[in-house]
Amino acid sequence: MKIVVCIKQVPDTKGGVKFKPDGTLDRGAMLAIMNPDDKAGLEAALRLKDEDPDNTEVTVVTMGLPKADDVLREALAMGADKGLLITDRVLGGADTWATSSTIAGALKNMEYDLIITGRQAIDGDTAQVGPQISEHLGIPVISYAEEIKVDRAAKTVTVKRQFDDRYHMLTAKLPCLVTALSELNEPRYMTPGGIFDAYADAERVTVWGRDKLDVADENIGMGGSPTVIAKASDKVAKGKGEVVAPGSPAEAVDYIYGKLTEKHVL
């Protein structure tokens, strides 16, 4: 069974966000981490591999700057088999449409039974790329996965899908794309041996440029992005707020009760 996990190197928002003059993120100037939803998707793939390690291959794919190799090495250190880095200057500035078109253009040249992506990335929060990839590839998609199970004999995937205050149980034929929630699991840590192996063999990560992608020029990079950024800014600092010092517990209760009533909470 061949599982492809799409992961993204995203800005570590704790270190601050930086923008270029054109309004796009200056990714090269920021600290980066693996997107949390993607990490949960990777863990789900690795658990499927644990069930049948001799017949399961996990490949991680990312699109980004050359430094995105780091996030692929992290995935290898966690247990993935190989990685693919899609990087080229002409791919820069891509919105969700151009990003999904580019990644799908790479996947068309790969073998896969199951594709797992995160629900959404913390630097965009659109939840569009995963479903768009499935549309480009013409395969079914199940989103918001809380649990993923595969029947290898029947070649199906069954997903417990989050839905408001309940859930759906959905089964689809493979190949299929599933988008994972960060609540899906608790990702494993890298192991010392895994870290050594991930960096010892440089060829475990393949690098593809524009020439390796099965996608039209009008669907890549900033030129293939229909989204227009009107304005971009860092987080606005909040004011101090109202500070009160009640003279007694009873006065504190009366104050809080009054505020909740005023806001129609009570």
The domain spans of the chain are 2-224
**Alpha helices in the chain, H assignment, sequence order:** 36-51, 69-78, 96-107, 129-137, 192-200, 249-262
Kind plus residue range of the DSSP H or E element containing 178: strand 176-180
Q: Can you give the pLDDT of all 266 residues of the chain as single tens digits?
A: 999 999 999 987 665 565 666 656 665 556 889 999 999 999 999 999 999 999 999 999 999 999 999 999 999 999 999 999 999 999 999 999 999 999 999 999 999 999 999 999 988 778 999 999 999 999 999 999 999 999 999 999 999 999 988 999 999 999 999 999 998 999 999 999 999 999 998 889 999 999 999 999 999 999 999 987 776 666 666 677 788 888 899 999 999 988 888 887 77
What is the amino acid identity at position 256? I
What gap in Å lies between CA 162 and CA 146, rounded to an integer?
Answer: 6
| Torsion (CA) 209, 212, 214, 215 in degrees, nearest 10 | 20
CATH for 2-224 is 3.40.50.620
User: What six digits make up the tokens of 151?
Assistant: 């029947």
Q: How many residues does the chain have?
A: 266
